[in-house]
Structure 1
Amino acid sequence: MKQDLQALDFNLLKALNALLEQRSVTRAAEQLSLSQPAVSLMLTRLREYFGDPLFVRGQRGMIPTNRAMELALPVSQILSNIALLSQPAEFDTDTAKMDITVAATDYALKAVVLPFMSVLKKRAPGIRLAVIPVDAERMSGQFERGDIDIALVRHDATPEELHFRTLYQERYVCMMRADHPVATKNALTLDDFCEPEHVIVSSTGQFQDDIDQRLAEKGYHRRIGMAVNSYVVLPEVLRTTDMIAVVPYRLTCAYDFLARFELPLDVPGFNLTMAWHERSHRDVAHQWIRALLFEVGQRPNILSLTSEPHLVSGV
């Protein structure tokens, strides 16, 4: 006859284990911090469930039956496994072996992921990182399926259903070759800014962006000589041409062959956020990784080739 597992609760298993260890209802009750009648009642229920007396009287206490001895090891294993489930999860950075997938733009790859990896490999060398492009339309589904663990995106591009934390507020500066003719200026005027050709980042290949509208409102116009779809290539373009570019500040920190200036017009920056799903919200390993990402986000010059590249104020 098939037995109903619902009738065998956790407390009954604990009572059976204590009786097997103590061979006495009185001592088992003391071990469990229960009354003797309560343990006697539990023994009655156990006998009914297993259809066996489980214990018989002997000269030195209770003697387990053959059935009780058969149950001893599996009951002990079940209780041990349950105890493991109830313990807080542990995370050892020295021995941790896991893979994390991060969705990041090319900007976040350079500004955050690269410095993050330099720190991560020193603190938790067994953690591997996979970086994939951000796909705004598929992001929610990717998180739900576990295809990505963290997304590094602008705050306004973060899906509402995700947890998020702002890593930092980014601003824009003007960047050019260190020996560029304009780099001799103490500060950039709007004329200085508009005179050289510009290279811009455009995902659509358009030769204009919001800055052109802001310049037009002030009666200015700039010449755009190149549009690229990635910030990663910008330093090389600037190094080999007389073009200049408006670039997020964090991307200017690792190049000693480039000069940067404060912009002579107001260009709003953006907040870079770290987003994650509820499925990993309480996972201690993921919590540690997110904390490290935030720590790295507070240190913009972690990969600087010089202590602090020269930044010239604007007017």
Structure 2
Amino acid sequence: MTVSFSTIDLNLLRVFDAVMEDRSVLRASQRVFLSQSAVSHSLARLREMLDDELFVRTSAGMQPTARARAMAPLVREALKTLEAAIGPPKFDPGSSTKTFTIAANDFTTAIVAPHLLRILKAEAPSVDIVIKPVTRIDLAEQIDLGRIDAAIGTFSGAPQRFNSNLLFEYDDVLIAGRAFETMTIEHLSRLSIVVVSFGGEQEGAIDGFISERGLARRSEMYDRRAFERAFAASERLPRLAVSLPHFLALPSLLEGSDLAAIVPRPLADSFARNHSISIYELPYPTARLEVRSLWHERHEGEASQEWLHGIMRRATEHLPIGSIKGGLA
């Protein structure tokens, strides 16, 4: 009897493989989630199609015939190949040479990248990371075009086509290159302040955020509203002496000077570990902001993308979510 592969029910081969593995109809039925009668019926159909007994019931279990033994490795390999073809694609970070592109500003890069690179070194030594400056590109367009795998930042709104994940939260603190005994509104009003802004009104910034194609990202990196409210009734305002487009120069500007700067708390902690910088709680409350990773919904379910978002969460798990722990430095 000639059997055409096009007429074979692949479920029959699954049953054959299970019986070959377990040498028991009962255990095979449990493996393939069928009843014993359904497994027996499948074997009967396959025996008839192949004109071979395939398995002989003995006291030691179901023993395969010569035809079954010859078929078994080929069927097992074919099932594995089919499973790989139609199953979700796998991603092995240990052997991958993939390059991921992330958009981030220098604040989030300084906070996230060192921990991210340590994970890569240990688990994915051949995976490369390209970090693009989030402030110099049309971020939404780059994500839409697939040129960016993920963006990290503070966003006030995002289109439905983008997914996001909370990484950490922060508020603002004051840093300075010299020590102060107290930090009151009166004391702060006498200081010259450095702030960081990634884009001005000429770039379309509204309330400290720049909006592009429905995606609004934070550009003014201090809580201006809280600052202005705190000094609304004061006769003297701090001098906003310097506005920078990045955080990188702050330590060298502050050390040995009378300047102070308003910065995100995690960045202040990083500066204080590596420079002669002191941290002070601001004498007024500031908004607590979320830093999120952002990616296009079309990547949902991709193994490599899910791994990337997983290691970004791990790289920021030491940072606070839900509470901000303050303290005078």
TM-score range, shorter chain: 0.5 to 0.7
Change (3 A) 1:286 1:223: same
Q: Tell me the amino acid that sits aligned with residue 243 of structure 1.
A: L
Residue 245 (structure 2) aligns with: 229
Corresponding position: 1:278 with 2:294: no
Aligned ranges 1:278-297 → 2 under 5 Å: 278-297=297-316
Residue 214 (structure 1) aligns with: 229
Q: What is the CA distance between 1:194 and its match in structure 2?
A: 1.8
Residue 107 (structure 2) aligns with: 107
Change (3 A) 1:265 1:186: same
Q: What is the CA distance between 1:41 and its match in structure 2?
A: 8.1
Q: What is the CA distance between 1:176 and its match in structure 2?
A: 0.6
Q: What is the CA distance between 1:89 and its match in structure 2?
A: 4.7
Residue 118 (structure 1) aligns with: 118
Change (3 A) 1:37 1:250: closer
Cα RMSD after superposing both structures: 4.5
**TM-score when normalising by structure 2:** 0.64
Which of 178, 187, 190 is matched with 2:182 structurally?
187
1:30-68 CA-partner distances (Å, limit 9, x unpaired):
x99978997898999x9xxxxxxx99xxxxxxxx9xxxx
Q: What is the CA distance between 1:243 and its match in structure 2?
A: 0.8
Kindly indicate whether the alpha-carbon contact (under 8 Å) linking 1:205 and 1:227 is maintained by their aligned counterparts in 2. Answer: no
Query: What is the CA–CA distance in structure 1 between the aligned matches of 2:328 and 2:232, rounded to whole Å?
Result: 25
Q: Tell me the amino acid that sits aligned with residue 108 of structure 2.
A: A
Aligned ranges 1:19-38 → 2 under 5 Å: none
Higher gyration radius (CA):
1
Change (3 A) 1:236 1:35: closer
Q: Tell me the amino acid that sits aligned with residue 291 of structure 2.
A: L
Residue 59 (structure 2) aligns with: none
Change (3 A) 1:300 1:7: same
Unaligned runs of 5+ in 2: 18-27, 30-35, 52-66, 68-73, 202-219, 321-325
Change (3 A) 1:218 1:111: farther
Query: What is the CA–CA distance in structure 2 between the aligned matches of 1:40 and 1:267, rounded to whole Å?
Result: 74
Query: What is the CA–CA distance in structure 1 between the aligned matches of 2:11 and 2:123, rounded to whole Å?
Result: 42
Change (3 A) 1:298 1:14: closer
Kindly indicate whether the alpha-carbon contact (under 8 Å) linking 2:111 and 2:270 is maintained by their aligned counterparts in 1. Answer: no
Q: How many residue pairs are counted as aligned between the two chains?
A: 278
Which of 174, 184, 195 is matched with 1:200 structurally?
195
Residue 152 (structure 1) aligns with: 152
Q: What is the CA distance between 1:218 and its match in structure 2?
A: 3.1
Kindly indicate whether the alpha-carbon contact (under 8 Å) linking 1:187 and 1:312 is maintained by their aligned counterparts in 2. Answer: no
Shifted more, 79-88 versus 260-269: the winner is: 79-88
Shifted more, 255-264 versus 111-120: the winner is: 111-120
**TM-score when normalising by structure 1:** 0.67
Kindly indicate whether the alpha-carbon contact (under 8 Å) linking 2:154 and 2:289 is maintained by their aligned counterparts in 1. Answer: yes
Residue 245 (structure 1) aligns with: 261
Residue 265 (structure 1) aligns with: 284
Change (3 A) 1:6 1:106: farther
Change (3 A) 1:204 1:289: closer
Kindly indicate whether the alpha-carbon contact (under 8 Å) linking 2:168 and 2:319 is maintained by their aligned counterparts in 1. Answer: no
Q: What is the CA distance between 1:251 and its match in structure 2?
A: 0.8
Query: What is the CA–CA distance in structure 2 between the aligned matches of 1:9 and 1:152, rounded to whole Å?
Result: 49
SS of the residue corresponding to residue 312 of structure 1 reads coil
Query: What is the CA–CA distance in structure 2 between the aligned matches of 1:90 and 1:79, rounded to whole Å?
Result: 17
State the percentage of identical aligned residues: 21
Shifted more, 188-197 versus 135-144: the winner is: 135-144
Change (3 A) 1:43 1:134: farther
Change (3 A) 1:300 1:100: same
